[in-house]
Structure 1
């Protein structure tokens, strides 16, 4: 369809209303001719056309269009005309009112037209038709109320999805940048301290800063690349599954997020800050079981955030990272313990983000001081993910 054609071609909803209006007008004429029209029929036909013509205006002016159809309907029956398909126009308006304005407004219009039908001159001869018409009018209003409830449910789901998507974006950006920027901060402080007396050590720290900044840019590009590829309607469940990858894969477009395969590199970066980190992976079988992609990513992110908090807040000299697979429960436990201050750092988004990430997968996370001193983070996640 050309652009010039689209400019004057009405939208789909308006086209549907025009077809409804035309159908009501034709049906009214056919019914009037076939039913031995009386002397007031020409006026009734004109009123039926007025009611049909008001239907396409229901989307923009629902109340105004309904008032026009109500007036035409009451005038039609006041002239003594028999039951006519123009009542369909009123049913459409009742549906619209109940959907847009609520069942209470629609009920007012139902009462108004019923009163007009009972008062009209033709009421005594067509009680059965009146009762049937009232039944159809109530059905139309009820259908509109159901549509209103459905629209409300859909809107709530979309708002919830948008809120969850904003939370996921904030969590991913925090995870992607927080750890790298913390390393840069620590290494920059070390470089300034060593610049005068130990220039060779300062050079090593600057090299670490360069590497951390490069990886931070890679993480940011990976996150932005996935956001560009995301659907407009955000998911309401756990984050979309992605395959594990090392940080070298973090490039724009189609980039993958890191998992357990990148833990060695992550821990090496933490060691460059002077923190002694020990990694232990324990499994009851010969090979580590395959994690669901989103769980693989969560294990990495939880370790990353926990080590970031250790280097930033605790003043610890060492930390232990332990990952244990339990075949019986089908869960993986991630622990990060340090020997620093047992008091958590100032409030931030890190621990809350870890807890939200674990909960989204059907797991749990606990933090707190250790019995022998230091601070610990412990997460239990299902190997297969949520569901």
Structure 2
């Protein structure tokens, strides 16, 4: 087989799986027998009209399995219709037979690749046998082929649209998972790093300064409580169904909460019109600064201070986090730096981290205004 035909032959059934039955199926099964009988009563010119009314009414039940067994139902209906046509010597010419197109549509909408190939071949064979029994006019020939092709095309188009929508939803889920992973990393890593630093300090002074040890334990308790609060807030956001229940996102004014007096101390400076920064951008800047401070306190050896500078101007928001410690050159890039770059890129910005020519380590980020409204 050639590649396109092989791909179609191996194609699975449509995804997501169709519903087993819906109310429309029952409505059609109830309405078609009535329509077949009414048509037979109102059109005495139709050959074998009552036979066709019974056949069409009986075949209407195939619509109940048209999604789960599309090719089987199409084969049953078209085979029975073709046999009756050949036995009676001609096309029924009944309008009610139009519901066979629903079965054809179902094969191309829900069936596997093999079902589509066999279904198309079956319909083509049935049309050929019907036309052989009586000489068709060009209008009948062109019209029959056009209707069948249009029905099949409609099924394929809606199948492709549904698959495309599923892919879009999956991409949205992946983006949400990446966002959640960044938020969890930035939130938990910041506080847990502070807890680890305080625990190391407590172990150092435990034997010589009980009062300092008590202060360290109180600091650890505070960091742990803040971690629990932020985790609960994030879980609450994920579980909330009412927008009013959502916890507020960090703002630029919340950058002051990053300031610390224990070694290495953290100093925060914010300038410009912070009120003009949209909430999502402000939250992104806060998380970038939080992760940069966490990395500085965790990895910068011999650091005596960490400076956080945020400036809002006509071009956007610029962030700079600098420590004067000795960077651990052997530390490989982790999820934190990658998450910072991804977070900045979401708003059309950039984020860079590396050794500073004047000493220490510097993280810079720029979120341009054009990215706020993109």
- Asked whether the two chains share a fold, i.e. TM above 0.5, the reply is yes
Following superposition, the deviation at residue 138 of structure 1 comes to 1.3
Residue 176 to residue 340, structure 1, CA distance change in 2 (3 Å): same
Instruction: State the Cα distance separating 1:198 from its structure 2 match.
Output: 1.5
Distance 1:127 1:281 in 2: 80
What is the aligned partner in structure 1 of residue 54 from structure 2? Answer: 46
1: CA distance between counterparts of 2:30 and 2:138? 28
- Paired position in structure 2 for 1:214: 225
1:100 correspondence with 2:135: no
Contact 1:74 1:113 in 2 (8 A): no
1:139 equivalent among 143, 147, 150? 150
Q: 1:60 aligns with which of 54, 68, 74?
A: 68
Q: Work out the CA distance in 1 between the residues paired with 2:76 and 2:169.
A: 35
1:341 aligns with 2:350: no
- Counterpart among 136, 139, 145 of residue 128 in structure 1: 139
Q: Quick check: 1:303 aligned with 2:289?
A: yes
Equivalent residue for 2:317? 332
Matched, 1:36 2:45: yes
Determine the C-alpha separation between the residues in 2 that align with 1:155 and 1:187.
48
Shift of 1:105: 4.0
TM (norm. structure 2) is 0.85
Is 1:318–2:288 an aligned residue pair? no
In structure 1, stretches of 5+ residues that fail to align are 1-10, 232-239, 243-252
Instruction: State yes or no: 1:364 paired with 2:372.
Output: no
Give the corresponding residue for 2:277.
291
Q: Secondary structure at the match of 1:183?
A: helix
- 1:70 paired to 2:78: yes
Q: CA deviation at 1:103?
A: 7.2
In the alignment, is residue 385 of structure 1 matched against residue 364 of structure 2? no
Q: TM-score, normalised by structure 1?
A: 0.82
List per-residue Cα deviations over 1:35-64 (Å, max 9, x = no partner): 4243x4444333212332201211221122
Q: 2:176 matched to which residue of 1? A: 165
Q: Residue 257 of structure 1 is aligned with which of 212, 236, 249?
A: 249
Gaps of 5+ in 2: 1-18
Query: Which residue number in structure 2 is paired with residue 118 of structure 1?
Result: 128
**3-state SS of paired residue (2:22):** helix
Cα deviation code 1:96-139 (max 9, x no counterpart): 11112367743543443333233236532666345323322211
Match of 1:14 in 2: 22
Alpha-carbon spacing, 1:386–1:205, altered in 2? closer, same or farther (3 Å): farther
**Aligned equivalents of 1:130 and 1:48: distance in 2?**
23
Is 2:359 aligned against 1:350?
A: no
Structural RMSD (CA)? 2.6
Contact 2:201 2:216 (C-alpha < 8 Å) held by counterparts: yes
Number of aligned residue pairs: 349
* Cα pair 2:75 2:122 within 8 Å, conserved: no
Q: Distance in 2 between matches of 1:107 and 1:192?
A: 74
Secondary structure, aligned partner of 2:311: strand
**Aligned-pair distance for 1:153?**
0.7
